Structure 1
Amino acid sequence: MRDNNADWLKLAVGRGLQALVVLHLDGGPSSETVTQTAGIWYRVLKKWPVGWNEELDRQRLTEAFLALAGQSQRWPSPSQLRALLPSRVYPQAQLSAPDYPEAKARANREKIKALMKTAFKQF
Structure 2
Amino acid sequence: MNDAWLRREIAKGVAGLLALRLDGAPAADSATKTAEIWLVAMTKGRDWNEGKDAGRIRKAFETLFATCERWPAPAQLLRELQTRPPELRLPKPRRTDKQIKTGNAALDHLVATMKGRAHTNSALKTNKQFEYSRRQAMASTLEMQNEAPQPTFMEEQI
TM-score by length of 1: 0.69
**Aligned with 1:30 (options 27, 30, 36):** 27
Give distance in 2, aligned partners of 1:18 and 1:90. 31
Q: How many residues align?
A: 93
Give distance in 2, aligned partners of 1:94 and 1:61. 28
User: Cα RMSD over matched residues?
Assistant: 1.8
| Structure index of larger Rg | 2
Question: Could you tell me which amino acid in structure 2 is paired with residue 64 of structure 1?
Answer: A
- Equivalent position of 2:3 in the other structure: 6
- Equivalent position of 2:70 in the other structure: 74
Q: 1:92 deviation in Å?
A: 2.8
Say if 1:22 and 1:94 are closer, same or farther in 2 by CA, change over 3 A.
Answer: farther
- Equivalent position of 2:81 in the other structure: 85
Q: 1:93 deviation in Å?
A: 5.1
Determine if contact 1:68/1:81 at 8 Å carries over to the other structure.
yes
Q: Does 1:21 align with 2:18?
A: yes
- Equivalent position of 2:46 in the other structure: 50
Give distance in 2, aligned partners of 1:24 and 1:92. 41
- Equivalent position of 1:62 in the other structure: 58
Structure 1 vs Structure 2: percent identity of aligned residues? Answer: 35
